[in-house]
Amino acid sequence: MTGFDEDSKPFRHSGHIGPGPKPGPKRAVNLTIDAEILAAAKAQGINLSQTLEDELRKRTQQAREAKFREESREAIESYNRFIAEHGIWSKKYRSW
């Protein structure tokens, strides 16, 4: 439950406004990768550094979101119970 009635959709925000984040400084690392998948990726022209960076960015964002949901669970549930009991005060003013 999101605290919204069934006719409305919850607003989702990435938490970022404006252009994407600047890339941070690069750092060389040593990795151990399965030789077959490494050869296949190289044969397809896949940029290994960028692919790893993109995946790490995605996974760390998912972990931050999961942590936020867990830390905020009680407050969100409380808010949802309040909305379920009292409704949304501005509902009569909405045009959607």
Q: Is residue 50 domain-resident? A: yes
In whole angstroms, what is the distance from residue 2 CA to residue 11 CA?
Answer: 10
Q: pTM for this one?
A: 0.59
- Assess contact for 91 and 5: CB atoms under 8 A: yes
- pLDDT at 28 > cutoff 60: yes
Full residue range of the structural domain in which residue 83 is found: 35-93
d(CA 51, CA 45): 11
Considering the domain boundaries, does residue 74 fall inside one? yes
pLDDT at 91: 72
Quote the mean pLDDT of the chain.
Answer: 84
What integer is the mean pLDDT of 76-87? 92
24 occurs within a structural domain: no
Provide the percentage of residues in the chain whose pLDDT is more than 70.
77
The structure tokens 């009292």 sit at 86
Domain total of the chain: 1
d(CA 26, CA 86): 51
In the block, which residue shows the tokens 């760390």? Answer: 60
